Amino acid sequence: MYCIDLTVTKRSKLIIISYTTVVEADMKSVNIPSYEKIAFIAYNIGVYESVQKFGGLITSGKIVSSTDVAKVAELLSEANAFYDAEMISQLINTMLRHSSNTILDRITADEVKYVMNQLEAVGVSIP
């Protein structure tokens, strides 16, 4: 059973809808981020992973200027990435502070954890 509490806030010309879902099985309340936040967080998790993998392979000398594309793809598929919700939220918030973004103001570690859990639920491997 799910209980949904909708709260609508009007800020500028943007209407923000936030809601909480309560799952009866464990009575854990989850604040679900807006769709814009979910998309932005998921995109940045992918960017973070790519930068981390490429950076590790380049600094270790496994990718050099003469490495062919197939080998780069193979190395990337075998490379591991480290995920930390707090660190990712801080990186995203630093980017947001230095942009003229008016839609998103701040991302929390709990919101990043929520998106990571959703990605894992649909089969995206996040170690």
Give per-residue pLDDT as tens, 80-91. Answer: 988 899 999 999
Of residues 126, 32, 54, the one with CA closest to residue 88: 126
Instruction: Say how far apart CA 48 and CA 45 lie, in whole Å.
Output: 5
DSSP 67: -
DSSP class per residue in 32-58: EPPHHHHHHHHHHHHHHHHHHHHHHHH
pLDDT band at 12 (very low <50, low <70, confident <90, very high): very low
* Global pTM value: 0.69
Do the Cβ atoms of 22 and 2 come closer than 8 Å? yes
Query: Who wins on pLDDT, 57 or 22?
Result: 57
pLDDT band at 28 (very low <50, low <70, confident <90, very high): low
Q: Where are the domains of the chain?
A: 1-32, 33-121
